[in-house]
Structure 1
Amino acid sequence: MTGTAYTADLKEALTGDREARFVWLCNFEVENQWARGHTGLPAARITTTAATVQRMEELGALLAEPTDHLLLDRPLDPGYRAYAEKTGLGAPTELITRAPAGEDGTSGAVLDSPELLDRLRVLAGGGAYLMPMGNSPLEQEICRRTGLRPAVPGPETSARVNSKIYSRRLTEELGLRAIPGFTCETVGELHRALDDSLRDGGPVIVKDAYGVSGKGLIVLDSRKKADRLLRMVDRRARSSGDDAIHVVVERFLPKRFDLNYQFTIARDGRVRFDFAKEALTSGGVHLGHVMPAALSPVQHESLVAAAERLGARLFEDGFFGVVGVDALLGRDDLVYPVLEINARLNMSSYQGQVTERFLAPGGAALAKHYPLRISAPVSFDEVAHALGDLARPPVDGTGLVVTCFGTVNAQAGTSLPFDGRLYTLLFAADRHGLGDLDRRTTEALHRLGTTERTP
């Protein structure tokens, strides 16, 4: 058995052709491009995980179809490629850049690879599309130089609708239940937002308009911390002569759990609700998903209704494609349908084919990564050996799929030992079964070194 309908459905929505040939580019750091020209929080850019984020582009191997191509700055581990093919999903043709990615990621490396650009021109001549995770001027330039057709809207539209300021304003405009908070585009607005938010006590969170996965985010749980931040912002504004800042300020709400749901807007404006999952997060950092989400029918339908309204408005603003939305279920059992809109592929998107292939009716799945502490780089075959029987594809809705291996060795050379991540999807009949499988996986990975459990 090969393939699922998931990726073919996406191709049909974006191009009208279920058999379209895609060149996938999983540019996880696209927010860095969108953020240019938008002043955020005065904090040092977090770079310790940059190499790991770069290697996450390999997640595209299980979303692409065998007739597709996947742009990478280095080849897949041969053992992992063989494993991907054994899942029954197949694996795409790899297109490797001339040199490892630099500050501009694989997109920049593609533009610096003349032979690869020539190969892309051949694919463009055959009608192929470029399918980036998110579109920025770099991906637009790849299309310009090669003739590849973009499967997504232009970079200006993509940047506009992915701002957290856009998310808040759209939520308020549509009358959806919103997290209490403010949008700030000047230093004065930030002063007023913090004064108002902290007046009643309780922590608030300040987020860059284009921050992602814990970057560009600060939690203020006291007036003293807020004043320290404002002094830094004021000093920078005086020094630059520019009081612009692009952030949102939000209050914390008591919650049962975070949510992530996805919908797809076709080129003709049709909106299809894809799924809803419980999101596992810590300090604003994404850790994984549990599916299906423990929502009542009414709560689920409220997400579907929100998706329809958000999708229609995004389409009016020129966007089509995949939209992932972060939301939460409050402790009061009310659904708050928008924390932020990510109008691009997201972690849940990359799980689509695997989930459709292996999740049994009525079953449960857990997407998570296992932090590893290892003393030397390891091959995928060594990981598979440590996993033992768990390295076999799931049977009857039970088992494990490794969705990204390259992140295991991404930090090799930075220190000894070094930290790695193994991205997985676990399947079982129910959540109790997931817990058992999670424990077995953690114990097996101890053979590689020391593992640390994630929440």
Structure 2
Amino acid sequence: MEQCIYYGEFNAEKYWRSEKLAKLPHISNNQIENIIKAMDELLFVLCSEKDTLITRYKIDPAQIKYLKDIGFSFAYNDTDLTEDISKEEQYKNICQILLEKYDELSNKELMKKNSTMSAFAVLPESREVSKKYGFDFDFPKINIIKKVNSKIYSSEINRDLNSKYPFKIANSSKELYEEGMKYLNNSPIMIKDSFGVSGKGNLVISNEGILQRVVSYINSQEKAGKSVEFIIESFLDKERDFSCQFFIHKSGDVEILSIQEVRNTGSSYHGSYTPSKEFVEFIRGKGYFSIIKEVAAQLYKDGYYGDICIDSMVLKNGDIIPIVEINARKSMSLIKHNIDKYVLNFNLNCSFTFLNVIFSTHIPYEQIIKEMEEESLLFKPGMNKGLIPLSSNALFINRYLDKNQNIKTYKGRLYLAILYKNETEKEDMLNNLTQLLNKNQINVLN
């Protein structure tokens, strides 16, 4: 079996989006950006024994040892790809770094020529990386990938499927105000950036005053030469979110991989969960899977093949919105699906979530793993419940990058797979983990 080399950039939309487009109001947070850059570690769940995972920052040795103990084996880089934490370096995506590190990495055993390369999301430099390193990387052209990932593309497809819930595209601040006001007469509205991700680039507007402030912010960018491209739609009364992961083969064949229930906080992703059989039958009865195949056929017709995650939702009135977003890439729910495949060996339920934390402590990651094991929280094969920590880097990355210790309080994120038999066990384990972290002066925020 040939080697596959995995790498990832979990904020690919940032590199697909044109710099010429105006942005919605947002608060930049360098610590959150650092966490997102460290999320590439999660891709280990896709790896088999002969595969390699290339991460921007080296994975903590304690995490590597634990993953090997529970059956995950893969090659990995044991040094950081970058040590420069300047603004210029932080903006570079992992492909740009791989191109710069060619002389250093190309002769290493973990970067064998003729390997297959697989990205979390295809980036503008992906083709150049695969060509330079001599890797097989079969993917559509980047202009196609940008097109099908745009929320305008997904909105237009959803309109064709579901004309009951219309939308408008605003190409000026004037249109944004005029069209927004038409919708506000009936309900709050949602304004979407065509390349927003996980809550970024989505704004809920409830009254004219807020709309006017947003329009004024956009107008100032428009005067500076930026183009305007936003989607306006009614804010819908949602019951639940879910997603479908599938793969379009180069032949056009479609392979549906999983359905995951998605938990969101506001518009931001907060975890994937296995839906009940009753829910899957409910959406089947609504014709959901037939719609997915129609969308897949359209994507293929437009030149796309590869990984797809479609975000969908059920409204409180029972209607399904089949296409909220099209993510033409791998996804967090695909990671959950691959954890599910591992968990099948143990006949347990599985959920995938994360804890947001703040801390000032200098406790090492190894100590967290050790204490989780002492408290019987750390999953090992043979146990009937337990937690699998999935990310060492995302937890402590801001402390790690703060070489001069200028920051007093660090933000972090601990991704987890929760293996359990009933909901009470799941909640008890999360509560016990929260207490363990709090005891070590790591405060859980959610």
Distance in 2, matches of 1:346 and 1:264, equals: 12
Out of 194, 197, 202, the residue aligned to residue 180 of structure 2 is: 194
Return 5+ residue gaps in structure 1 as ranges. 1-18
Per-residue CA distance 1:409-448 (angstroms, 9 max, x = gap): 1221362232211100102123333223322222232232
What is the aligned partner in structure 1 of residue 86 from structure 2? none
Q: Is 2:193–2:229's contact at 8 Å kept on the other side of the alignment?
A: yes
Out of 413, 433, 444, the residue aligned to residue 441 of structure 1 is: 433
What is the aligned partner in structure 2 of residue 312 from structure 1? 297
What is the aligned partner in structure 2 of residue 16 from structure 1? none
Q: How many angstroms does 1:203 deviate by?
A: 2.0
Out of 106, 118, 121, the residue aligned to residue 94 of structure 2 is: 106
What is the aligned partner in structure 2 of residue 426 from structure 1? 418
What is the aligned partner in structure 1 of residue 246 from structure 2? 263
Q: Is 2:52–2:110's contact at 8 Å kept on the other side of the alignment?
A: no
Change (3 A) 1:453 1:376: closer
Q: Is 1:259–1:279's contact at 8 Å kept on the other side of the alignment?
A: yes
What is the aligned partner in structure 1 of residue 219 from structure 2? 234
Give the AA of the match of 1:399.
G
Give the AA of the match of 1:299.
I
Give the AA of the match of 2:435.
E
Q: How many angstroms does 1:234 deviate by?
A: 2.5
Per-residue CA distance 1:46-93 (angstroms, 9 max, x = gap): 233111101101111222222111222221111100111112122333
Q: Is 2:241–2:264's contact at 8 Å kept on the other side of the alignment?
A: yes
Q: How many angstroms does 1:163 deviate by?
A: 0.5
What is the aligned partner in structure 1 of residue 35 from structure 2? 52
Distance in 1, matches of 2:58 and 2:337, equals: 23
What is the aligned partner in structure 2 of residue 283 from structure 1? 266
Q: Within the alignment, does 1:254 sit opposite 2:254 as a pair?
A: no
Q: How many angstroms does 1:347 deviate by?
A: 0.8
Distance in 2, matches of 1:361 and 1:79, equals: 24
> Under a length normalisation based on structure 1, what TM-score does the superposition of the two structures give?
0.87
Q: Within the alignment, does 1:375 sit opposite 2:360 as a pair?
A: yes
Q: How many angstroms does 1:452 deviate by?
A: 2.5
Q: Within the alignment, does 1:349 sit opposite 2:343 as a pair?
A: no
Q: Is 2:361–2:441's contact at 8 Å kept on the other side of the alignment?
A: no
| 260-269 or 350-359, which deviates more | 350-359
Report 1:113-124 matches (<5 A). 113-119=101-107, 123=111
Distance in 1, matches of 2:230 and 2:108, equals: 38
Q: Within the alignment, does 1:21 sit opposite 2:16 as a pair?
A: no
Distance in 2, matches of 1:393 and 1:292, equals: 25
What is the aligned partner in structure 1 of residue 119 from structure 2? 132
Give the AA of the match of 2:275.
P
Report 1:360-399 matches (<5 A). 363-388=348-373, 389-393=376-380, 395=382, 398-399=385-386
Q: How many angstroms does 1:223 deviate by?
A: 0.5
Query: 1:269 aligns to what SS in structure 2?
Result: coil
Q: Is 1:277–1:290's contact at 8 Å kept on the other side of the alignment?
A: yes
Aligned-pair identity in percent equals 19
Query: 1:216 aligns to what SS in structure 2?
Result: strand
Q: How many angstroms does 1:360 deviate by?
A: 6.9
Change (3 A) 1:297 1:360: farther
What is the aligned partner in structure 2 of residue 325 from structure 1? 310
Distance in 2, matches of 1:381 and 1:450, equals: 14
Q: Is 2:199–2:268's contact at 8 Å kept on the other side of the alignment?
A: yes
Query: 2:390 aligns to what SS in structure 1?
Result: strand
Q: Is 1:372–1:449's contact at 8 Å kept on the other side of the alignment?
A: no
| 323-332 or 345-354, which deviates more | 345-354
Q: How many angstroms does 1:228 deviate by?
A: 1.5
| 112-121 or 300-309, which deviates more | 112-121
Out of 134, 140, 147, the residue aligned to residue 160 of structure 1 is: 147
What is the aligned partner in structure 1 of residue 390 from structure 2? 403
What is the aligned partner in structure 2 of residue 172 from structure 1? 159
Distance in 2, matches of 1:266 and 1:352, equals: 18
Change (3 A) 1:96 1:120: same
What is the aligned partner in structure 2 of residue 9 from structure 1? none
| 79-88 or 433-442, which deviates more | 433-442
| 318-327 or 179-188, which deviates more | 179-188
Query: 1:59 aligns to what SS in structure 2?
Result: helix
Change (3 A) 1:381 1:235: closer
Query: 2:54 aligns to what SS in structure 1?
Result: strand
Q: Is 1:69–1:95's contact at 8 Å kept on the other side of the alignment?
A: no
Distance in 2, matches of 1:78 and 1:179, equals: 50
Distance in 2, matches of 1:438 and 1:313, equals: 42
What is the aligned partner in structure 1 of residue 71 from structure 2? 88
Q: How many angstroms does 1:236 deviate by?
A: 2.6
Q: Is 1:62–1:91's contact at 8 Å kept on the other side of the alignment?
A: no
| Paired residue total | 431
Distance in 1, matches of 2:385 and 2:109, equals: 43
Return 5+ residue gaps in structure 2 as ranges. 84-88
Distance in 2, matches of 1:128 and 1:145, equals: 12
Q: How many angstroms does 1:359 deviate by?
A: 4.5
Distance in 1, matches of 2:326 and 2:238, equals: 19
Q: How many angstroms does 1:363 deviate by?
A: 4.8
Distance in 2, matches of 1:401 and 1:332, equals: 37
Distance in 2, matches of 1:361 and 1:255, equals: 34
Q: How many angstroms does 1:206 deviate by?
A: 1.2
Give the AA of the match of 1:280.
R
Change (3 A) 1:203 1:119: farther
What is the aligned partner in structure 2 of residue 3 from structure 1? none
